[in-house]
């Protein structure tokens, strides 16, 4: 199983540089069904565990460990993935994409060491989205020149999938910055814009949302540079002119 998109990127950064990201640690039992699909079970919930080709080593290490030692109590470094639906009444689907498998030999600077079980680092735009009742941190694709060039080579549908944002519901009582909410009654200049926030949050499996824990940076209205999907304008076509109605002529009496 593979997934070509992720909510956090391996990009070269300088110290203290802000980036869009969503990465964390979960702990649960891992199982593999008859169709070789992998799931992680946390409390009473089962979540699909996805894999990207670039994380194949972690995937193979996990499967080997499950084969040799069973699937009980695995500690995994993951990207969260939420699929929302057009109807706000339909519950979103939660899954996770494997980044690393914590077998006790993780590098000192890895998320497995830095974060406790179910802790996540989330950085993105703090806002409401139309399809979710809970405000979200929206994680977009970080800009790099290489990625920008790659984007130009993709077909429109693949480009849209590549740039699709990840919207992660977050419970944040008394938030230091209010989540942005689009108001259709206001002009563009009056709308304002969402704040970029960076927080530590805990995944709450009993509610399938994240809960705010602490700030990792000062909220700002200037987000890191990210890639946008440009809507291509249709080619200009000549406007069809409606035939004018013939006006009735009235005789003028002289």
Provide the pLDDT for residue 93: 96
Q: Does residue 10 lie within any of the structural domains?
A: no
Coil, strand or helix at 127? strand
Structure letter (DSSP) for residue 177: S
Residues 52, 156 contacting (CB under 8 angstroms):
no
Provide the pLDDT for residue 203: 98
Q: Does residue 247 lie within any of the structural domains?
A: no
Q: Does residue 253 lie within any of the structural domains?
A: no
Average pLDDT score over residue span 155-171? 91
Provide the pLDDT for residue 107: 60
- Please compute, for residue 92, the number of CA atoms within 13 A of its CA located in the half-sphere on the CB side: 22
Give me the residue label for tokens 């705010």: 212
Lowest mean pLDDT among 1-15, 125-139, 161-175, 179-193: 1-15
pLDDT tens digits along 95-152? 999 999 887 666 655 788 899 999 999 999 999 999 999 999 999 999 999 999 988 8
pLDDT tens digits along 3-48? 334 444 444 444 456 899 999 999 999 999 988 899 999 999 999 9
50-64, 115-129, 183-197, 237-251 — most confident range: 115-129
Provide the pLDDT for residue 106: 60
Residues 41, 56 contacting (CB under 8 angstroms):
no
pLDDT tens digits along 198-252? 999 999 999 999 999 999 999 999 999 999 877 655 555 444 444 444 444 333 3
Instruction: Decide if pLDDT at 74 tops 70.
Output: yes
Nearest to 71 by CA among 26, 117, 32, 118: 32
**Distance, CA of 39 to CA of 41 (rounded, Å):** 6
Residue 148: φ, ψ to 5°? -65, -40
Number of domains composing the chain? 1
Coil, strand or helix at 53? helix
| CB atoms inside a 10 Å sphere around CB 87 | 8
Q: Does residue 221 lie within any of the structural domains?
A: no
Q: Show Cβ contacts of residue 180 under 8 Å, excluding neighbours closer than 6 positions.
A: 125, 126, 127, 128, 192, 193, 194, 195
Provide the pLDDT for residue 1: 41
**Distance, CA of 223 to CA of 226 (rounded, Å):** 8
Q: Does residue 88 lie within any of the structural domains?
A: yes
Q: Does residue 5 lie within any of the structural domains?
A: no
248 CA to centre of own chain = 63
Calculate the dihedral angle through the C-alpha atoms of 120, 216, 139, 98, rounding to the nearest 10 degrees: -30
Q: Does residue 241 lie within any of the structural domains?
A: no
**Distance, CA of 68 to CA of 104 (rounded, Å):** 16
Give me the residue label for tokens 């990465």: 23
pTM reported for the whole predicted model? 0.82
Coil, strand or helix at 169? strand
Structure tokens at 78: 């993951």
Provide the total of helices (H) and of strands (E) in the chain, helices listed first.
5, 10
Residue 160 structural domain: 21-215
Q: Does residue 180 lie within any of the structural domains?
A: yes
Residues 196, 221 contacting (CB under 8 angstroms):
yes
Question: How long a stretch of residues is the chain?
Answer: 254
Instruction: Decide if pLDDT at 175 tops 70.
Output: yes
């Amino acid at each position: 199983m593979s997934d070509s998109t992720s909510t956090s990127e391996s990009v070269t950064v300088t110290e203290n540089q802000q980036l869009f990201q969503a990465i964390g640690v979960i702990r649960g039992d891992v199982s593999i069904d008859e169709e070789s699909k992998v799931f992680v079970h946390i409390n009473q919930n089962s979540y699909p565990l996805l894999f990207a080709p670039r994380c194949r080593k972690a995937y193979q290490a996990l499967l080997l460990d499950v084969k040799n030692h069973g699937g009980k109590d695995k500690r995994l470094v993951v990207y969260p993935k939420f699929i929302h639906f057009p109807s706000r009444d339909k519950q979103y689907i939660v899954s996770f994409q494997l980044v690393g498998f914590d077998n006790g030999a993780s590098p000192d600077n890895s998320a497995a060491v830095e974060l406790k079980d179910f802790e996540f680092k989330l950085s993105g735009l703090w806002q409401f989205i139309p399809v979710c009742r809970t405000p979200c941190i929206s994680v977009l694709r970080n800009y790099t020149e290489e990625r920008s060039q790659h984007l130009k080579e993709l077909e429109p549908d693949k480009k849209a999938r590549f740039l699709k944002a990840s919207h992660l519901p977050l419970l944040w009582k008394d938030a230091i910055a209010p989540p942005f909410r689009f108001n259709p009654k206001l002009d563009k200049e009056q709308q304002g814009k969402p704040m970029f926030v960076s927080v530590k949050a805990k995944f709450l499996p009993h509610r399938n949302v994240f809960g705010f824990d602490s700030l990792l940076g000062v909220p700002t209205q200037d987000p890191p540079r990210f890639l946008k999907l440009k809507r291509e304008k249709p080619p200009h076509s000549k406007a069809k002119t409606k035939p004018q109605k013939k006006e009735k002529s009235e005789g003028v009496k002289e």
